[in-house]
Structure 1
Amino acid sequence: MTLHIPAEWSPHKAIWTCWPSAADLWQENLVPARAEVAAMVAALIAPGPRGQAGDIVHVLACGQESYANARAWLAPQVFVHELDFGDIWLRDTGPIFAKQDGRPIALRFKFNGWGEKYLLDHDEHVGDGVARLAATSIQASQFVLEGGAVDHDGEGTILTTRQCVLNTNRNRTWTQSLAEAAFKECLGAQKVLWLGDGLLNDHTDGHVDNIARFIGPGRVMCMAPFGHDDPNQVQLQQIAFDLSQMTDSAGRQLEIIAIPSPGRIVNEQGEVVPASHLNFIIGNATIVVPLYGTASGDAALRGISSAFPQHRIVGIKSSAILTGGGSFHCITQQEPV
């Protein structure tokens, strides 16, 4: 049997996401986070600059209040489903949609709250619920993996980080060779490209979707440090260098495209937070890019626009969502045609 995970820029049947629902988790950021998610959904369903159809979007809402609120905020053509989940990080808790011998399948993995840091009711099972709503069969694997930990080029090359995937808080006995064997069997990987560490203070232990993204066959986007006090300066420079030494599964030397990082962003306690302009979601017609009110935003949008000339590029503030630890890519999962 042949397992294939299409690239994110391949045509979508739908995009799945979640509505911020837990008031005890989001507190004063609940309404602002809902506004940011609503803006993302509105951008994704809109037609593209050349008349391309936008995405069909499915939104999960946890509880009756959340369902009613989402239904009131979102356009009528958006599908809203009442389904229990812990929090909105569907990239990690949901399935990875793939094709097996050309037929759709939902790949499911164990989830342990990013190394048992945040264990919330229903997060371990929400992916099964999404698969049922999508009327897609499930293929379950017995190891821990979050979708944000792996990025796919659609041709069998996977980008990931040692900091996350080889962390003993996920799969205690994994070595690099064991991880590669599992990725070959369960993700259809032909080659795995390994980076080291992710962003400072990233509770996911270095998810790759914050630091490097495939944007086409043989093409990877990363970030350059922004500002003299960028807290990730050394790491971002190392990532760009490491990528420049890599080839993909087809033997192509990777073409590296860099956009600026957001620079130094801190929370109310003065702690550096893992903000990334790379945490964008690629829709059928629109790419939604997270912005944080920094001077780097315009340059990041220009760089992404140059890399995706057929798409509409929309920058949306993501500061409230970031208080939960992620952004637009973290809260979405694409379902390929």
Structure 2
Amino acid sequence: MNIQASSTNSNPSQPGFSFPAEWQPHVATWLSWPHTEASWTKERQELMFPSYIEFIRTIAQGEEVCINAHNETVIQAAKLRLLLAGVDLTNIHLLPNPTNDSWCRDHGPAFLKNPATGERMIVNWGYNAWGGKYPPFDNDDLLPVLIAHYRNLPYVTPGIIMEGGSVEFNGAGTLLTSRACLLNENRNPHLNQAQIEDYLHKFYGVQQVLWVEDGIVGDDTDGHIDDTVRFVNEDTVVAAYETNKNDENYPILQDIHHELKQMRLLNGKQLNIIELPMPDPVVSDGLRLPASYANFYIANSAVIVPTFRCDKDQQALDILSQCFTDRPVVGIDSTDIVWGLGSFHCLSQQEPV
């Protein structure tokens, strides 16, 4: 049965629904197959597809991969690419869901779960392509409802703009986000910080919202948290840091570290903060790209980390391997993917068991 609750008075947190931590078991990972030149030109798509397909192959070793594929033509083209790359299609489902772009973290469904009952539901946040930067985005905005019907899950529509990459969860009642994004006038100009926090409490089922100020240079999302700070367990974060004082990101990341040190969790504890280096700058056509090791994705079978063909790749992999001892940490080259201004976390959205 599909139930749409379009009223902002609806409150999924009241019966106990919340957004699980990413390291909790998944039924599936959702992706949106690239098929337009919205993020990558045709030439750039050819360069990025090998890494994108390796990403799919790695996820599929431990869970379903559900891929929004624009139409039957795109489905057949995607299937051919996967088969030619030797990917086992057993766990892969290509679905004829129309899309405009490929960043499923932001336009895909937010899956909530009620731990007491095992019930699941979807939050159908509004999506406007990061403040209207990249029209059209009408198909992407409709995806959560299509997926709710596909999964036969109830869904709720809060009626405001929210992107999955702008919020980070510890699975124990705490959400991390940035003012640069969520308080940007190009998202929900009619809402102040307290009002936005109220939506986060109700529709993500969190009890606490912690704010950093900004995001990294080159991030066209206005400061998504998944490029700077990520939870690796309930009370520990990895935080991007820059050692080069002449780098544009140095003061930004210093400020974030200072903000993190002042934070206290619901139990009164300070955050454990693990420094995660930034890669060397990735520049294309004079444009600084938002390359960050923090944009990793925690799949059932592995933690998948973007690498950028630089000396710091192995250091980042070693640090994250110490954080995640229950599954392998795998690096996949994201140099061509990040040309589209995102990486593996931006591309994916998990569906909890």
TM over 0.5: yes
Opposite residue 89 of structure 2, the aligned amino acid is P
Identify which range, 89-98 or 77-86, moves more after superposition: 77-86
Deviation at 1:130, TM superposition (A): 2.2
Distance 1:143 1:278, change over 3 A: same
Deviation at 1:45, TM superposition (A): 2.1
Q: Report percent identity of matched pairs.
A: 34
Deviations 1:275-307 (A, max 9, x none): 111111101120110111122111000000010
Deviations 1:113-132 (A, max 9, x none): 10111122411112222222
Deviations 1:244-270 (A, max 9, x none): 2111223221000111111322112x1
- Secondary structure at the residue paired with 2:283? coil
Is the 1:36–1:318 contact (alpha carbons within 8 Å) kept by the matching residues of 2?
yes
Opposite residue 63 of structure 1, the aligned amino acid is N
Q: Which has the higher strand share?
A: 1
* Structure 1 CA distance for aligned equivalents of residues 280 and 245 of structure 2: 9
Opposite residue 204 of structure 1, the aligned amino acid is T
Opposite residue 186 of structure 1, the aligned amino acid is F
Is the 1:21–1:63 contact (alpha carbons within 8 Å) kept by the matching residues of 2?
no
* Structure 2 CA distance for aligned equivalents of residues 132 and 230 of structure 1: 47
Deviation at 1:25, TM superposition (A): 4.8
Give the length in aligned residue pairs: 329
Q: Does 1:171 align with 2:185?
A: no
Match of 1:19 in 2: 33
Match of 2:18 in 1: 4
Distance 1:241 1:39, change over 3 A: same
Alignment of 1:242-257 (within 5 A): 242-257=259-274
* Structure 2 CA distance for aligned equivalents of residues 287 and 12 of structure 1: 13
Q: 2:337 aligns with which of 317, 321, 325?
A: 321
Q: Does 1:80 align with 2:94?
A: yes
* Structure 1 CA distance for aligned equivalents of residues 39 and 226 of structure 2: 23
Opposite residue 152 of structure 1, the aligned amino acid is F
- Secondary structure at the residue paired with 2:78? helix
CA RMSD of aligned residues (A): 1.5
Alignment of 1:288-327 (within 5 A): 288-327=304-343
Q: 1:63 aligns with which of 39, 62, 71?
A: 71
The TM-score, its normalising length taken from structure 1, stands at 0.94
* Structure 2 CA distance for aligned equivalents of residues 265 and 229 of structure 1: 15
Is the 2:260–2:271 contact (alpha carbons within 8 Å) kept by the matching residues of 1?
yes
Q: Where do 5+ consecutive residues of structure 2 fail to align? A: 1-14
Q: 2:241 aligns with which of 198, 201, 224?
A: 224
Match of 1:50 in 2: none
* Structure 1 CA distance for aligned equivalents of residues 143 and 110 of structure 2: 12
Match of 2:349 in 1: 333
Distance 1:130 1:31, change over 3 A: farther
* Structure 2 CA distance for aligned equivalents of residues 172 and 277 of structure 1: 31
* Structure 2 CA distance for aligned equivalents of residues 94 and 298 of structure 1: 31
Is the 2:238–2:274 contact (alpha carbons within 8 Å) kept by the matching residues of 1?
yes
Match of 1:35 in 2: 50
* Structure 2 CA distance for aligned equivalents of residues 250 and 196 of structure 1: 23
Alignment of 1:136-175 (within 5 A): 136-175=153-192
* Structure 1 CA distance for aligned equivalents of residues 257 and 273 of structure 2: 7
Alignment of 1:207-222 (within 5 A): 207-222=224-239
- Secondary structure at the residue paired with 2:276? strand
Opposite residue 126 of structure 1, the aligned amino acid is L
Is the 2:38–2:100 contact (alpha carbons within 8 Å) kept by the matching residues of 1?
no
Deviation at 1:134, TM superposition (A): 2.5
Identify which range, 88-97 or 229-238, moves more after superposition: 229-238
Opposite residue 43 of structure 1, the aligned amino acid is T
* Structure 1 CA distance for aligned equivalents of residues 215 and 19 of structure 2: 23
Is the 2:75–2:95 contact (alpha carbons within 8 Å) kept by the matching residues of 1?
yes
